């Protein structure tokens, strides 16, 4: 089943805009090799890619801080494919590894007295996994997003409180636990269970991420979205290739397990 991401009122419009543009991008990549090369180019944040922005309604960039990358995963050593692919027949559908959200853990402010302010500012900047550059885009959060935000804030605050603690400590460095064990560590802390059809991982934020004490805001901080590229469907007897592409793309949009933010 698809991922439910019915976020908040104004963000819902942003998510629908993204889904629409991404579906157009997938369709175009199936017939335009140069576009496909650009879409899959390493380190190409498609939210800043002009060719993708042109597919958005009114060609207006989305108010998100996230970076979104599209990739094709390497097969396993035994050759078993992990890429998202459409399989026709009685069990027709999309198969492949889940998409992935990477949470960049914010570094602790130098002054512990700033921890509370920094946590509050983080909560404002990341009402959802995508982050926001527009304060007006943060109304009416869905219960799932509220629950995850609460759990994540507790996790981040514990990361700062246990910073530098060794593995033998009764309270080991929680940032290391998140990087090693992912959501299992967060679940053990607050009992959070991932309600979405994508994987969530954690890593240290890039070096440019920092807490701006003077302006009470975070700089250089963002999350990452890694989308498993859906391969063009193979030919099926009795159907033209164009017809099969339309059928596969429609299913990808409605309930493809790898489709980002599907079933809003």
> How confident is the model over 143-152, as pLDDT tens digits?
677 788 889 9
Q: What residues does 212 pair with on adjacent strands?
A: 217
Calculate the CA 142 to chain-centre distance: 17
pLDDT at 1: 29
| 3-state SS assignment for residue 212 | strand
Q: In the predicted model, is pLDDT for residue 136 greater than 60?
A: no
Contact 35, 28 (CB under 8 A): yes
| 3-state SS assignment for residue 104 | strand
* Vertex 39 angle, CA 105 and 261, to 5°: 55
Q: What residues does 71 pair with on adjacent strands?
A: 228
Q: In the predicted model, is pLDDT for residue 262 greater than 70?
A: no
CB crowding 17-48: b at 16 or more within 10 Å, else e:
bbbebbbebbbebbeeeeebebbeeeebebbe
Residue 9, Cβ neighbours under 10 Å: how many? 13
| 3-state SS assignment for residue 102 | strand
Which value, to the nearest 10 degrees, does the dihedral of the CA atoms of residues 229, 231, 232, 234 take?
-160
Q: Is 79 exposed, middle or buried (0-12, 13-18, 19+ CB in 10 A)?
A: exposed
Q: What rounded mean pLDDT belongs to the chain?
A: 85
The residue that leads in pLDDT, 134 or 180, is: 180
pLDDT in tens, 16-45: 888 889 999 999 999 999 999 999 999 999
Q: In the predicted model, is pLDDT for residue 104 greater than 80?
A: yes
Distance CA 144, CA 127 (A): 11
């Amino acid at each position: 089943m698809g991922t439910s991401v019915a976020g908040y009122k104004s963000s819902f419009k942003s998510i629908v805009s993204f889904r629409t543009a991404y579906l157009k991008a997938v369709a175009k990549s199936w017939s335009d090799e140069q576009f496909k090369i650009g879409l899959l180019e390493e380190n190409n944040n498609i939210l800043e890619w002009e060719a993708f922005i042109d597919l958005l309604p009114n060609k207006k960039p989305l108010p998100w801080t996230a970076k979104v990358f599209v990739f094709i995963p390497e097969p396993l050593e035994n050759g078993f494919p992990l890429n998202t692919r459409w399989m026709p027949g009685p069990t027709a559908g999309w198969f492949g590894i889940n998409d992935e959200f990477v949470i960049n853990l914010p570094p602790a402010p130098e002054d512990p007295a700033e921890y509370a302010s920094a946590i509050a500012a983080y909560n404002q900047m990341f009402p959802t996994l995508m982050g926001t550059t527009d304060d007006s885009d943060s109304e009416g959060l869905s219960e799932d997003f509220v629950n995850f935000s609460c759990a994540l804030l507790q996790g981040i605050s514990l990361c700062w409180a246990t910073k530098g603690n060794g593995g033998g400590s009764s309270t080991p460095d929680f940032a290391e636990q998140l990087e090693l064990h992912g959501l299992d560590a967060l679940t053990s802390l607050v009992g959070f269970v991932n309600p979405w059809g994508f994987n969530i991982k954690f890593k240290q934020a890039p070096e440019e991420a920092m807490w701006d004490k003077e302006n009470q805001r975070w700089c250089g901080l963002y999350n990452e979205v890694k989308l498993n590229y859906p391969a063009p469907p193979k030919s099926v007897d009795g159907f033209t290739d164009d017809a099969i592409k339309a059928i596969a793309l429609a299913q990808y949009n409605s309930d493809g397990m790898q489709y980002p933010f599907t079933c809003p």
